[in-house]
Structure 1
């Protein structure tokens, strides 16, 4: 079945591009529209109702662009708003949750770490997931300040290194063997994290799993048969950081939404 409509992807900023890249790599023929709500980043410090409102605003924008499927490329928006989105809109949604399950199942030390936003760690959906793995000790750490530094293009800054060391050192001392990245911004920090944690600690994010789920949904609603697949990127702040993190010659449009 053919379906030329685009896939919509939104995040509270540039972090969801880590998810977008996995989707684009797996499904290069699909046209994609990426929405970076950087003006309101980070979502992780906002109330549940505000996260729901922003997620609906982003969804309305993408549906106006005729999207056939919407990827919520934000852990905080998924864990706080996806139930409401699925209730309100008649379009498939794919969310992103911290990959607790593979970490807990494969952990040898029975101790895993998760670095995520306050909004994700405090959500009902996240707490339901962690309850399933009560035999595993899960060390939770809110990544205060990390999203803001990434959004400001300060991934390699001394401030970033200092924050990461303060968050990761207690996990290392607790003998974690898996580190779950519970925010779509955080995969961009993997090179910095690798300098801090021992080699035996595995890092898990959800990007490839989301791309595979997108592929599964497209089997039901249709793939793009053609080559009209130039991705479109929108941001409501200065597009410079988004352009830098994407690399290549992608066009980023600044638009108030």
Structure 2
């Protein structure tokens, strides 16, 4: 990876605004900014972790990066193209190059569908023979058997279900996989296996990861770089090892202290969004 190369994924001053529910018919309409001027760049072959406390905007960022919803302002570029400016047909074609792994391995798999149908979902335009071969290859790539294609989700453990979800994301050989809390619903004993699988797949296929997590250990294990979010903004960014070794922002320090089981100063958890460019690095 050459840092002078254009990024695979780039967010430019992205804001996402939602209408807030009115307290009564007499109150004025208000809004909530889930993201506030977020910019980031992710280069091919790298892994970027996004961490932050609950409500910081992490999952909103993931949905917008996947073009599952549009930004209220700013733009999202994938391979140099503004995703939200693409016609629907072109966006569907572009989605083969970016896929998503969701948090819940139980809710993200349709219990009425066989594993073969689930994993082949992104290949709707391919022939039946092509889909069958691709499903077998994807299942074996994630450590399952080709014969598992005939089974249903309820026949698998949580860790195996998440492997099925990863196989579904991998089947198009995407350039980018966005993983939103991919191991948080799994037993601790299984989490490391799934994370090691993600690393192995990156080494084998060169896939790029945008990984959303509340767990700093997960990001430390998988990601080269990390951004820390608070109140819809990025408050710190850099190489993972450097950020976790010497955090500069109060939010980052609070997250690390909470992860290590240390007391967290109240001021660190309620810090207002910063406009200081030094803190926003």
Which TM-score applies when normalising by structure 1?
Answer: 0.30
- Greater fraction strand: 2
Higher relative contact order (CA 8 A, sep 6+): 1
Could you say which structure has the larger radius of gyration?
Answer: 2
Taking structure 2 as the reference length, the TM-score comes to 0.28
Structure holding more helix per residue: 1
